[in-house]
Structure 1
Amino acid sequence: MTIAGGARDRGQRAWIWLAACLGVLAVQVLVQHLMGRLWICECGYVKLWEGAVNSSGNSQHIADWYTPSHIIHGFVFYGLGHLLLRGKPLSARLLLATLIETAWEIVENTPMVINRYRSATISLDYFGDSILNSTMDTLAMAAGFLIAARLPVAVTVTLAIFLELFTGWMIRDNLVLNVLMLVWPLDAVKAWQAGV
């Protein structure tokens, strides 16, 4: 096999992996549609950015204050793929990341998890993601994954810390606090998040 032939084969395999990622994303959309999720915000329009955290528009539009958390998911899943699929193409590792993110997006929008968010966190008015927002969350994860693939580890870690600190400062919530409050809610953290 020639060098050009080997590169062509790798390129074709990469396209197959990427097509599989799109297929997984399509399954996410279909499952959420079958779950009764709304395609877009109930308000009837689409915004590029929803800056109000405790509003009916949160988790309904293209991006919001939780988008950085999904970018960080991509950083984490890139590292996981590097550990578990060492030697596999980047596109195969992206498929693993997409499978994990899609599974979370589906579980996150089940009544059980929605009710958990409403009872254990400050997200009292949370009623799940629109299909648009959930799809964009998965694409934000993919962007984070690809950013991590290009940046040195130290820069990726620094960027993750910056995103966590910035969103924590701006909205009193971030990925770490979100996971903590979902898994092991603390009254002191909930009070701080509520500004009490």
Structure 2
Amino acid sequence: MTGGPIATTVDTRAARLWLGLAAGLLAAQIVILFAMGRIPICECGYVKLFEPGVNTAGNSQHIGDWYTPSHIIHGFLFYGLATLMMRRATVGAKLSLAIIIEGAWEILENSPIIIDRYRTATMAIGYTGDSVLNSAMDTVFMALGFLFAARAPVWLTIVIAVFFELFTGWLIRDNLTLNVLMLVWPLDIVREWQAAL
């Protein structure tokens, strides 16, 4: 016989501990971004749920934008990576690893070297970095994607990821795949196609 009230109490405490650690990691990301001089919210002075423009001053400044699906896909990928690396670990432990990776990326993404790389190699010509709000929400959306992948069938997670990539690729001529490609190995043909939007 396994389980019982004692096991449930231990599981609840462990879940709270991991949730607290995840929240602490997100808070650390926010503090570091502030220390880097990132603006808290859009310079426009207000917060929108969703910024529909791609090459606009509001992109990467509000709660969500057309790059939000990429961060959800990060969550799918990080769940897969954490499951491969930490097979016996709890979902909370795996989520903490995912938040460390996403937080590190968000901090790097808002460093001068990556901001300049985006400006020169991708379609984000006027990119100035994320607001702290947008960066924090990118991590939250990653966590939501991670938690979805932890509960959903693998096939459904893959179908949603492919749909997100195809839809944003068609709509804004950018997606996670193109973003990574253009950061790592910029292609003129892709840049020209994206600029024709």
> Normalised by the size of structure 2, how large is the TM-score?
0.97
User: Aligned equivalents of 1:148 and 1:114: distance in 2?
Assistant: 30
Query: What does residue 184 of structure 1 align with?
Result: 185
For the pair 1:7 / 2:8, whether they are aligned, the reply is yes
Q: Percent of pairs identical after alignment? A: 58
Instruction: Pick closer, same or farther for the CA change 1:83–1:55 going to 2, 3 Å.
Output: same
| 2:143 aligned partner, one-letter code | A
For the pair 1:147 / 2:151, whether they are aligned, the reply is no
Query: What does residue 161 of structure 2 align with?
Result: 160
Structure 2 unaligned spans of 5+:
none
5 Å matches for 1:69-84?
Answer: 69-84=70-85
Q: For each residue in 1:13-41, what CA deviation from the matched residue of structure 2 results, as whole angstroms up to 9, or x when unmatched?
A: 11111100100000100000000000000
| 2:175 aligned partner, one-letter code | N
| RMSD (Å) for aligned C-alpha atoms | 1.1
Shift of 1:2: 6.0
User: Aligned equivalents of 1:92 and 1:139: distance in 2?
Assistant: 16
Query: What does residue 22 of structure 2 align with?
Result: 21
Query: What does residue 130 of structure 1 align with?
Result: 131
SS at match of 1:37: coil
SS at match of 1:19: helix
5 Å matches for 1:52-67?
Answer: 52-67=53-68
| 2:72 aligned partner, one-letter code | I
SS at match of 1:60: coil
| 2:39 aligned partner, one-letter code | L
Query: What does residue 170 of structure 1 align with?
Result: 171
Shift of 1:3: 2.3
Query: What does residue 37 of structure 2 align with?
Result: 36
User: Aligned equivalents of 1:2 and 1:92: distance in 2?
Assistant: 20
Instruction: Pick closer, same or farther for the CA change 1:11–1:124 going to 2, 3 Å.
Output: same
User: Aligned equivalents of 1:51 and 1:2: distance in 2?
Assistant: 49
| 1:63 aligned partner, one-letter code | G
Query: What does residue 117 of structure 1 align with?
Result: 118
User: Aligned equivalents of 2:186 and 2:19: distance in 1?
Assistant: 38
Query: What does residue 86 of structure 2 align with?
Result: 85
Query: What does residue 100 of structure 1 align with?
Result: 101
SS at match of 1:134: helix
User: Aligned equivalents of 1:2 and 1:156: distance in 2?
Assistant: 30
User: Aligned equivalents of 1:62 and 1:185: distance in 2?
Assistant: 28
User: Aligned equivalents of 1:109 and 1:11: distance in 2?
Assistant: 36
User: Aligned equivalents of 1:16 and 1:51: distance in 2?
Assistant: 37
> Normalised by the size of structure 1, how large is the TM-score?
0.98
